[in-house]
Chains A and B, each alone.
Chain A
Amino acid sequence: MNVKIPEMMNRPEVLLRGNFACAGCGLSIAYKTAISALNRPIVVIPACCASVIQSLHPNVTYNVPTLNIAFAAHASAASGIARAKKMRGEDTTTVVWSGDGGTYDIGLATWSGAAERNENIIHFCYDNGFYSNTGAQRSSATPRGAVTTTTPGGKREKRKSVVRIMAAHDIPYIATASIGYPRDLYTKVKKASLIEGYRFILIDAPCPTGWNSDPAITPELGELSVKTGFFPLYEIEEGKLTFSKRSIRYKDPANRLPVENYLEKQGRFKSMTSDQIKLLTDDLQHEWDMLSRLE
């Protein structure tokens, strides 16, 4: 599938001005790019930054119907919506829009149930690797070494591979994408929208507020996470993994930019020792190796 630039330029405005997002918010870019690619979306949002940036009731900056729901109830509420709209014979696209806390941690059982039932839902996880909404606490998506308010000495454990857990459910479509490559993200969403069943798209979404990075370089951080091999882009269809064009060359570690180029631009990694960086680099390589087994 090849989406042309003019199509992306003319997409509907789904996130209106006056929202509460911070400067350089990666989530906002991810939301605008992904949701605008969908036909008649209904979006379910659990507790996360997306439940806050929409503004204060009765004002709302989302231009699509939105159900705010409890943290661990995203995919269950979306299941109900998808079934109800099927029952009513209405043509809509049911979407879960969750952060990594809601997907990796508290809502894992909920989406696992919905994925096993193969509910007709597109589940987006915008991943900034911590609880951004509540003030930068650790999640299981937080990379090793990152300082958060609950890991003030840097996280000691590696980041969980939620995609491989999702892949074990054998759902029809899985993709990773980055706000650094909006056309790739938009295309993957379009592609997902043509498939029925449970679809999952993980989006790397930098958070300058929590990462302690310059808001002006949010898209650049998105690119760097791909170029350093920190966040590989790929699709998994019917159990088979394909690395995306933007990522394929970084399968060979020799082609990757040094991970330090990515880490040094973020305050959260400032205190990492070279030993910790070595461990982090091993974590990244391990993930590439495990993903390569699915090719």
Chain B
Amino acid sequence: MVQSLEKPQIKLMTGAEAVATAAKLSRPQVIAAYPITPQTKIVETLSGMVTRGEIDTEYINVESEHSAMGAVIGASLAGTRTFTATSSHGLLYMGELVWWAGMTRIPVVMPVVNRSLNPWNIWPDHQDAMAFRDAGWIQFYAKNNQEVLDLTICAFKIAEHHKIWMPVMVCLDGFILSHTSAQVEIPPQTKVDDFLPPFKPLAMLDPDDPFAHGSLTDSKGIWEQRMSLIDGFNNACILIPQILTEYTEKIGRLGNYMIEVTGDIKGAECAIIALGTMGEEAEQAIELLSEKNIKAVVFRPRVFRPFPKKELISLIRQVPRLLVIDRAVSFGNAGQLAIEIQAELYAHEVSVEFHQIIKGLGGMDVNYADIAAEVEKILKEE
């Protein structure tokens, strides 16, 4: 069947395929990647697309994740749009260069298929990506395969905006999204091209205009660089909603919010806050709760870096009670999301009843009934 170039197609695809499709539509010029479960399907799908000539890209089958990030840093500075993807131990092994990309502002896009860390376990939690929350990367957490596709395309535009110019991680829960098929609307290439113009380097390694990138820098230089990075994140807070708006207007669906609100905030007894697919489970949980006449609402931050403080505080002020569910732990303290929300509550003198739990480590199932039960429990305790 001949498919229209102008109309979106609807396909059943896994999260991994959604990532690969989004990457293809975004026309990266250099891709470097190394396989790791559950990211493998992304690199396999992309390799197939390259072999069939569906993407015009230089695909580098590197020998490690460390080299994957090394290659995209080089390729980006040589003036091309770049892409890689990883997971879990792959992200940790890449770690030195994840920081290199963050600190030296390399606008690469990297989906991270969230997977637990050692001892060997391939199932989802957020411990891998959370280990890099401070690395100077923008972090999105997607709730379903459609959002994975939409955010991955947006990630290029965000990373490459000259007032942001930094790397972006798009996090998706391993297996729950990466290996589960769901309906995804694929935008036509023409519309993506209109939204995402070709890569425009801010600085490039060029023999006609030589400069040294990443050279020995004194404290003052490092200070200036770090302050500029902080400014970049402040800019991102303003520009991300604008770019998401543009995507929604040109392509559809996505919405421009940093935090998705599901349910009726008015009269809600409790707000559930969670990232990624747990946020989507929570949407089901509030339906179950409403059957028991409990009114709850879901706040799902889909951007974790920059932390959407302003949006969060204005939402939290409207509810009496919070239940924050983390799928990772900052050992010695608490879940990262809970810690950061508590800091904002203090900073803005918001008085709210605060509950936090850690769920789903190492891929433990967290379904809507579990979440609903947690809400019931905290209400009963009072």
Chain A residues within CB distance 8 Å of chain B = 40-42, 44, 51-52, 54-58, 60, 62-70, 72-73, 75-81, 83-88, 92, 109-110, 112-114, 116-117
B332 is an interface residue with CB less than 8 A from chain A: no
Whether the pair B210, A64 counts as a contact (CB closer than 8 A) is yes
* A-contact bits for B237-277, CB 8 A (1 contact / 0 none): 00000000000000000000000000000000000000000
Asked if A81 contacts B210 (CB within 8 A), the reply is: no
| Chain B min CB distance to A156 (Å) | 30
Complex alpha-carbon distance, A66 and B215, angstroms = 9
- From B58, B73, B209, give the contact of A73 (CB < 8 A): B73
Residue pairs across A and B with Cβ atoms less than 8 A apart, 6 shown, are: A65-B211, A67-B73, A67-B77, A80-B76, A86-B58, A110-B67
Within the assembled complex, what's the spacing in Å between the Cα atoms of A77 and B60? 11
Residues on B lying within 8 angstroms of A by beta carbon are 29-30, 32, 57-58, 60-64, 66-80, 82, 96-97, 100, 205-207, 209-218, 221
Residues of B within 8 A of A78 (CB): 74
Once the chains are docked, how many angstroms separate the CA of A105 from the CA of B204? Answer: 30
Q: A211–B100 Cα gap in the complex (Å)?
A: 33
Chain A: which residue is nearest B56 at the CB level? A87
A88 to B209: give the CA distance in the assembly, Å: 16
State whether A57 touches B210 (Cβ < 8 A).
no
- Asked if B212 contacts A83 (CB within 8 A), the reply is no
A54 to B213, CA, bound (A): 11
Interface of B is mostly: mixed
Q: Which residues of B contact A44 (CB under 8 A)?
A: 74
For A92, give the chain B residue with the smallest CB separation.
Answer: B207
CB-based contact A54/B216 at 8 Å: yes
| Residues A76 and B213 in contact in the complex (CB < 8 Å), given A69-B100, A109-B63, A117-B61 | no
In the complex, chain B residues whose CB is within 8 Å of the CB of A57: 212, 215-218, 221
Q: Are B71 and A70 in contact (CB under 8 A)?
A: no
B217/A56 in contact, CB under 8 A: yes
Contacts of B205 in A (CB 8 A): 42, 65-67, 81
- Residues from chain B with a CB closer than 8 A to the CB of A66 are 205, 210-213, 215
CB of A57, distance to nearest CB on chain B (Å):
4
Contact across chains for A80 and B207 when beta carbons are under 8 A apart: no
A80-B71, A84-B30 as given contacts; A55 in contact with B214, CB under 8 Å? no
**Contact at B217–A84, with CB atoms within 8 Å?**
no
Q: Of A64, A87, A109, which is within 8 A of B58 by CB?
A: A87
Check A80–B66 contact: CB distance below 8 A.
Answer: no
Docked complex Cα distance between A110 and B94 (Å): 12
Do residues B75 and A84 form an inter-chain contact, with CB atoms below 8 A? yes
A56 engages B58 (CB within 8 Å): no
Q: Using A57-B216, A109-B64 as known contacts, say yes or no to A42 and B75 having CB atoms under 8 A apart.
A: no
> Given A60-B212, A87-B58, A69 and B74 touching (CB < 8 A)?
yes
Task: Report the separation of the CA atoms of residues A56 and B212 in the bound assembly, to the nearest whole angstrom.
Answer: 10
User: Would you give the shortest CB distance from B47 to chain A, in whole angstroms?
Assistant: 14
Q: Which of A41, A56, A63, A113 is within 8 Å of B216, CB to CB? A: A56
Query: Could you tell me the distance between the alpha carbons of A109 and B216 in the complex, rounded to whole angstroms?
Result: 25
With A60-B215, A65-B206 given, is the CB distance from A117 to B74 under 8 Å? Answer: no
Q: Are A77 and B70 in contact (CB under 8 A)?
A: yes
A63 touches B210 (CB 8 A): yes
Chain A nearest CB, measured from B284 CB (Å): 43
A81-B78 contact in complex given A57-B221, A69-B73, C-beta closer than 8 Å: yes
A68 touches B214 (CB 8 A): yes
Complex Cα distance, B60 from A114, in Å, reads 10
- Which residues in B have their C-beta under 8 angstroms from that of A72? 66, 96
Residue of chain A at shortest CB distance from B59:
A83
Contact A65 B62 (CB under 8 A): no
Considering the complex, give the chain A residue whose CB is closest to the CB of B73.
A77
A-B contact sample (6 more), CB < 8 A, given A76-B67, A88-B29, A109-B63 = A68-B213, A69-B70, A72-B96, A76-B70, A81-B205, A117-B60
CB distance from A125 to the nearest CB of B (A): 17
A92 contacts which chain B residues (CB < 8 A)? 207
**B211 and A77 form a contact (CB under 8 A):** no
The answer for the CA separation of A52 and B218 in the assembled complex, in Å, is 12
**Contact for B80 among A84, A109, A112, CB less than 8 A:** A84
* A155 nearest CB across to chain B (Å): 28
CA distance A266 to B217 in the complex (A): 33
Q: In the bound complex, how far is the Cα of B77 from the Cα of A263, in angstroms?
A: 44
* Complex contacts, B80 vs chain A, CB 8 Å: 84, 87-88
